[in-house]
Chain A
Amino acid sequence: MLKINNRDKIEWNKGMTVRDVLNRMKYSYSLITVTVNGELVLKEDYDSYKVPEKADVIVFHLAHGG
């Protein structure tokens, strides 16, 4: 299992990437920041970064305004 945003749980599959997690969660918004077990995953690595089993995945939404 994977825990998403300290709330949702999804099934983990071997070789699952950050992109797979985002697709499973139906996150289509492009302006996000993702961490896995507290570590930032660069946007360019979403297709290659393998999410380990039982990982905590946090997805932050970036909204304009400052």
Chain B
Amino acid sequence: MIIVIFFKRYYYPIMAKNNKLFERNVPGSTAILQKSVVAIAGCGGLGSNAAVALVRAGIGKLIIADPDIVEESNLNRQYYFQSDVGQKKVDALTAHLKAINPEVIIDAYDKKISRDDISEIFREANLLIEAFDRAENKLWLIEAWCKAFPERAIICASGISGLGNTDELRIRRAGHIYFCGDEKTDMSMGLCSARVAVVANMQANIAIEILTKKG
């Protein structure tokens, strides 16, 4: 009896809500995505926006990592709000993702990850979204991921800055490595919300494509 009451009061409403949440998804995609795990290295402009897109699509679990605190200057492009300023990015992002889908599982690492962490922290992930800001960090992450998981995809971003030239944003692929962006523009040019979000969503879109193709 107690179990039935618990189910009706707590579990069923969540299930019912999630059935509605994903009812406009592409048929057949939700069940696959709910069984999938995506890792995101960095929770800035790329990582936070890609995470939101993946959760809205129905991803079952995210592994996120970032050592930073939310600053007001992040709000021009990152998925945070004034009330998040001063909070750890991974905590604020987890709250926003759970506000979209309370059932999504988030493993959050509030730390600056290194080469040595990759095989342990991301071992469950089907693929990785690279969302670092410094190019030299992108480089070691790609090398470490390909060494640890040579058969799993890594979706990188390079060239997301400035304004205009939207038609130069592209996706290039070699083996399991994907690159989104124009591979030219540098953050010293300044960062615009729309352009950063376009590339973050290109990354999320490729992740969804890979996961749903594998089934």
Write the residues of chain A forming the contact surface with B, with a CB cutoff of 8 angstroms: 31, 33, 35, 37-40, 42-43, 56, 58, 60-66
Q: Chain A residues near B146 (CB, 8 Å)?
A: 40
Candidates A35, A37, A43; contact of B139 at CB < 8 Å: A43
A37, B176: Cα distance in complex, Å: 11
Q: Using CB atoms, name the residue of chain A closest to B130.
A: A66
Complex A-B: 16 CB contacts under 8 Å: A33-B139, A38-B175, A40-B146, A40-B177, A42-B143, A43-B143, A60-B183, A61-B159, A61-B184, A63-B158, A64-B134, A64-B161, A65-B185, A65-B186, A66-B44, A66-B131
A18, B183: Cα distance in complex, Å: 20
B133 within 8 A of A: yes
Candidates A40, A60, A65; contact of B161 at CB < 8 Å: A65
Candidates B143, B175, B187; contact of A65 at CB < 8 Å: B187
**A31-B143 CB under 8 A given contacts A60-B158, A60-B172, A66-B132:** no
Q: Chain A residues near B186 (CB, 8 Å)?
A: 63-65
Q: Which B residues between 10 and 57 are near A, CB-CB below 8 angstroms?
A: 42, 44-47
B188 within 8 A of A: yes
Q: How many residues of B contact A (CB 8 A)?
A: 39
Contact B133 A60 (CB under 8 A): no
Contact A31 B174 (CB under 8 A): no
A37, B135: Cα distance in complex, Å: 23
* Residues 178-210 of chain B, each 1 if its beta carbon lies under 8 Å from chain A, else 0: 010111111110010000100000000000000
Q: Chain A residues near B135 (CB, 8 Å)?
A: 31, 62-64
Of B45, B147, B175, B188, the most chain A CB neighbours within 10 A belong to: B175
A58, B158: Cα distance in complex, Å: 15
Contact A64 B187 (CB under 8 A): yes
Q: Chain A residues near B125 (CB, 8 Å)?
A: none
B156 within 8 A of A: yes
Q: Chain B residues near A63 (CB, 8 Å)?
A: 135, 158-161, 181-187
Known: A33-B139, A65-B196; 19 extra A-B contacts, CB below 8 A, are A31-B138, A39-B175, A40-B142, A40-B143, A40-B175, A40-B177, A60-B177, A61-B184, A62-B138, A63-B161, A63-B184, A63-B186, A64-B135, A65-B158, A65-B159, A65-B161, A66-B134, A66-B157, A66-B187
Contact B139 A65 (CB under 8 A): no
**A31-B136 CB under 8 A given contacts A61-B158, A65-B185:** yes
A56, B177: Cα distance in complex, Å: 14
Contact B133 A35 (CB under 8 A): no
Contact B45 A66 (CB under 8 A): yes
A35, B142: Cα distance in complex, Å: 11
